[in-house]
A = this chain, B = another copy of it.
Amino acid sequence: MTLPQGTPAVPPRDPQAVEALAAFGRLAAARGWLAATSGNFSCRLDANHALVTRSGIDKGAIGAADVAVVPLAGPIPPGMSAETPLHLARYRAAAAVHAIVHVHTLAATVLSRADLAGGYVRFSGFEMQKALAGVATHETVVDLPVFANHQDTVALAATIEARLNGAAPVPGYLLAGHGLYAWGATMADARRHLEGLEFLLECTLEERRLHR
């Protein structure tokens, strides 16, 4: 088979990459972050492709058939999550991003609705801020961006990437009433960023309960 000139060769579904997605899925399912088959995750395979979870599957028990190789420039194969364009746009915008995870948590959903007007949820003074790559002290301010949710995810991806402008200061964002995205240079980094941001969101939600 001869590929048309300029079409990148499609890499295989690397078993290690499949297992990385499956392992994260088991962990996220155990924590209740994937209610009702929600959530989706991916990892970069090369400069032009990512491995992405399919739509509607039980993400606590991912096998090779539950993920697909997707070209970063499209087209997106049938059966993929409607949010696949958000993953692809992030990989295209930032070569250092190798894994992206998205889950639905109570704290992310409630705070993203509460802080949409301001455009971010602010964290300050928490040791856990150091879970984020490049943050070396609690004595700083971390602003997690919040975007309005939109069913046209191609348009939404454009809005998000315009604001993030390549290298985002924080490795994640919130979609209002929807959930949390996080990424990293490896799946371990993406997981650490997600867990750190979720912890910061839970603490912030609790402080608002107390001090309102």
Contact = CB atoms under 8 A, between A and B. Distances in A.
B207 A210 contact: no
Counted per complex, copies of this chain come to: 4
16 contacts: A35-B199, A36-B195, A37-B131, A38-B128, A38-B131, A104-B127, A106-B199, A106-B203, A109-B126, A110-B206, A125-B176, A125-B177, A127-B175, A138-B178, A208-B210, A209-B209
Interface string A165-184: 00000000001111100000
A196 B36 contact: yes
A137 B178 CA distance: 11
B128 A207 contact: no
Interface string A193-208: 1011011001101111
A77 interface: no
Contact of A151 (B35, B137, B176): B137
